[in-house]
Amino acid sequence: EARKQEQLVEEQRSRAACLESRVEQLQQSLKEASARAESFQQVAERDAALCQQLGCQLREQEEQSAQSQQELRECQVRIAQLQA
């Protein structure tokens, strides 16, 4: 009986050691995943800022294009009037 008990204790110790090792591995993986997630978040924030900036530039260019088209139409009208 004492031998069985000793064997059970040893099995439990071995299992505990395996579980401790697994917990350490999982904690390390969690740290690595957390670092990657933080890096991805930083990239996403930079990308969002860039997207917003590009959106503003696009709107400005659209406004400038519309203004240039209007000026072109006005010039074409003046040319037509001068040629008439």
Q: What is the pLDDT of residues 19-63, one digit of tens each?
A: 999 999 999 999 999 999 999 999 999 999 999 999 999 999 999
The span from the first CA to the last CA of the chain, in angstroms, equals 120
Task: List the chain domain ranges.
Answer: 1-84
Nearest-angstrom CA–CA distance, 24 and 59? 52
Mean pLDDT over the full length of the chain: 97
* Of 1 and 79, more confident: 79
Sequence-ordered alpha helix ranges (H) in the chain: 2-83
Residue 82: per-residue pLDDT: 95
Taking the complete model, does pTM exceed 0.85, yes or no?
Answer: no
**One-letter amino acid for residue 64 of the chain:** Q
In this prediction, what percent of the chain has a pLDDT beyond 90? Answer: 95
